Amino acid sequence: MKWLMVLGVLAAAAVAARGEIVILDDGTRIEGHISKTPDGWQITTSDGKTVLVPQENVASIEVGGPSSRPAAAAEALASLRRAVEHSTDLAAIINRYEDFIARNTEPDVRQQAEEDLALWRQRQDQGLRKFGNDWITPQEQQQRQQLGRREAAQAADLMRQNRNTEADPLLQRALADDPENAAAFYLQGVLRYKQDRLVDAKTAFEAANGSAPDHAPTLNNLAVICWRQKSFVAAMGFYDQAMNASPQLRQVLDNVAEALHVLPAETRDAPVCRKAVDDFRAQDAALQSAMARQNLFRWGATWVNSQQMRMLRAAQAKIQQQLDDLSHQSDAIDQKIAQIDGDIDRNSREMRDLPANGYIMDANGTMVQQSMPPRYYDLQRDNEKLKQDKLALQGQQAQLRQQADKVRQQERQLPVVQFTGQQQIFGADAAPLRESPTTLPDASIDSSTTRPIGG
């Protein structure tokens, strides 16, 4: 690395300096005045050269001057404490403290480090593990997880009764007891979605997805939120994950059908979208086969029985025939307008080419062009009539468009519409409350028990 070459030069320049000494993890010793920065340690040698050394490459710090020694050592210990704050590996933490104590000789700091080390060893001896921000026994973790599950289940019951105000603080307690509670995160996401707090809902569902991966309702809900935020590619990616997590899950496939109906053309070629389309087609074909055995058939993004399907198709065919008739009439008018435009263009060209009858001198001695030949004025009148005919035809086209809009409204007024324009999230019933022996919620969902709520 470039900074390592710089350190080689600084090491040679710092031999005579008498200040702090930074010892790198490869054994290199750099002496000079050091100061802590957010990115590591800045070393200034006796000849004024400086270099920034990343914290992860510093093994220890020694000092040459008595006045600066305690402060530098204390800062090194503080840096170590920050470094292990989020670690979950007790053995690695203990090794780092042992190495720190072996390399640092400042009495007060060494004593503090040894006290820290004794605490870490005690945690290791007691078999503690990191849970949220706390170090607790496996038994305590199990108790807190059980309590969090009960609180999440109670909150889900309240939400089914639409008692969301009571459920919210219960979910907060569940997450305080179990910071990895996927069900509590999921239910909190449902609550925030119903409050139209999309950013907070997405954050909660992302946390649920982190604690319970491959849970199809969570992935579906993330897709719905991304779609509402107009992140269409991200939405299709989550839908694809949901389809693969729980293949042929009806509510997910219905949502994908809604999405594909209005997916922007410029988005369809994205690799994520193409894969989602392929997976949807394969899974929906299998689902349609299974649903047909229950006398249900896909109608856009929903399902109807065979009798409904016959009635809807007949009504749709009638509507389509009307639209086709109107389209043919519009095409005929387009041809007439094109013919009129051609006639006007030809007349205009002939008018430009007609020569004038010449020039004469008026009483004042000025040369004045005589009037155009009669043919010119005949063409001019013909063009005016053609323009009026074109305006009349354009008026007829406007009427045809209005009629087509009314016919399309009939389609939207069918007893069962094909597409609602809304994608649905799964509600409280789909929360990952069940658990496997590894204490992670079970990702399998029975489609007969999941109930979506409005998107």
Q: In this structure, what are the phi and psi dihedrals at residue 12, rounded to the nearest 5 degrees?
A: -70, -35
Annotate 399-422 with three-state secondary structure: HHHHHHHHHHHHHHCCCCCCCCCC
CATH 3.40.50.300 fits 139-299+429-453, yes or no: no
Cα gap 367→382, rounded to integer Å: 31
Q: Compute the distance between CA of residue 62 and CA of residue 310 in angstroms, rounded to an integer.
A: 87
Q: Which amino acid is at 26?
A: D
> In b/e form, how buried is each residue of 94-113, taking b as 16+ CB within 10 angstroms?
bebbeebbeebebeebbebb
Please give the torsion angle defined by the CA atoms of residues 321, 322, 325 and 331, in that order, rounded to the nearest 10 degrees: -110
Q: How far is CA 350 from CA 339, 345, 355, 380, 381, in A?
A: 17, 9, 10, 10, 13
Label residues 250-284 b or e (16+ Cβ within 10 Å = b). bbbbbbbbbbbeebeeeeeeeebbeebbebbeebb
* CATH T-level assignment (fold) for domain 2-125: SH3 type barrels. (2.30.30)
Residue 145: the pLDDT is 84
Contact 92, 80 (CB under 8 A): no
DSSP codes joined into one string, 424-435: -EE-GGGS---B
Integer Cα distance of 259 and 280 in angstroms: 11
Structure tokens at 93: 């933490």
Whether 47 contacts 127, CB under 8 Å: no
Task: Give the pLDDT confidence score for residue 440 in this predicted structure.
Answer: 34
H helix or E strand, kind and range, residue 42: strand 40-44
Considering only CA atoms, which of 455, 445, 433, 424 is closest in space to residue 155?
A: 433
Do 425 and 221 form a contact (C-beta atoms < 8 A)?
A: yes
Task: Give 122-178 as a DSSP string.
Answer: HHHHTT-EEETTEEE-HHHHHHHHHHHHHHHHHHHHHHHTT-HHHHHHHHHHHHHH-
Sign of the CA dihedral with 104 first, then 109, 115, and 119 last:
negative
CB 86: neighbour CB atoms within 10 A? Answer: 8
Average pLDDT for runs of 10 along the chain of length 455: 46 44 75 76 76 78 56 82 81 85 83 83 76 76 87 95 95 93 96 97 97 96 98 97 97 97 94 97 97 96 94 90 94 95 94 72 74 86 94 94 90 85 96 56 36 43
- Neighbouring CB atoms inside 10 A of 180's CB total 19
308-412 CATH? 1.10.287
Cβ proximity of 120 and 97 under 8 Å: yes
Q: Do domains 139-299+429-453 and 308-412 have the same CATH topology?
A: no
Tokens matching residue 218: 């969570």
Residue 233 has which token pair? 């590619």
pLDDT for 358: 60
pLDDT per position as a tens digit, 294-319: 999 999 999 999 999 999 999 889 99
Residue ranges per structural domain of the chain: 2-125, 139-299+429-453, 308-412
Tell me the pTM. Answer: 0.64
Q: Which residue has the tokens 């389509």?
A: 320
Residue 55 is classified by DSSP as G
